[in-house]
Amino acid sequence: MAPTRRSIEATLDLLWTGLGRPRRGPRHQLTVRRVMEAAMAVAESEGVDALSMRKVAAHLGVGASTLYTYVPDKDALLALMVDEMISQAPLPHTRPGTWREKVEAWAREDMASLRVHPWLIEVTSGPFVGPHAFAWTDSAIRVFDDTGLSAEVALAVVESVDALVRGHVAQIVVADRAESWSDPQGRSFVSVQESYLATRRAEGTRSASIERLQAPLDAMAVFERALAWLLDGVERDIAGRDVP
């Protein structure tokens, strides 16, 4: 269901006017921040698919209807959660080093954070842009202030790096989950896959894909190479400009 204008306005108000502001309503003395933190706890322990207003309410020991005094809906909670996570990252332009070193640092840190908090990969905050997301993006564009890139081109670089990080993290998260999986007999995903591939080889099946599954590439090494390729292209673009 698409968010209504009223719920969008309410969510934007929450994002921009502060999480700690008390709300008029039940005597539970909750705050928007406490509700958001409870939602994050549910997402961390059970995954974002399990997140619901009812589960958040149970975590807080209140009725589900109480939450609507503080947040309009689940979409609002997700928007608040995303902006809160963004607030925990250093602003890119404040990092030490050259523009490239700053980009590499934030990309690697994002990789690590998203891997620890995989629910962020599955969440989109829709049309909502919170103050921390706005400040972070503005800071990231400032990284390229002395490179000759326009703000529009710098934003394209920022979004490209973000897409690269998210794409690789999504694959790594899948691999992480596979490593922790086991069947009813206690066999790991890797052992089941190896058994299957051994059967295919015995049948005479040979392919580059099967060999790759037997000896998969290191995911982080692939990410580092992809990041280098992307930034090499940006570096060539910058070198071809006349920077005053």
Q: Range of 65's domain? A: 5-85
Mean pLDDT computed over 74-92: 92
Domain end marker among 85, 111, 127: 85
Which CATH number characterizes residue 117's domain?
1.10.357.10
Same domain for 99 and 40? no
Whether the CB-CB separation of 113 and 85 falls below 8 Å is answered with yes
Same domain for 94 and 183? yes
Sign of CA dihedral 89, 50, 130, 163: positive
Establish if 61 belongs to a structural domain.
yes
Q: Is residue 2 exposed (0-12), middle (13-18) or buried (19+ Cβ within 10 Å)?
A: exposed
Residue 16 CA, chain-centre distance (Å), reads 21
Same domain for 51 and 164? no
**Domain total of the chain:** 2
Residues 171-200: tens digit of each pLDDT: 887 777 666 656 676 666 566 666 767 776
Same domain for 72 and 147? no
Establish if 244 belongs to a structural domain.
no
Which CATH number characterizes residue 80's domain?
1.10.10.60
- pLDDT at site 242: 60
Same domain for 81 and 101? no
Residues 13-49: tens digit of each pLDDT: 888 886 655 555 555 578 889 999 999 999 999 988 8
Establish if 29 belongs to a structural domain.
yes
Residue 137 CA, chain-centre distance (Å), reads 14
Whether the CB-CB separation of 168 and 226 falls below 8 Å is answered with yes
Give 244's DSSP letter. -
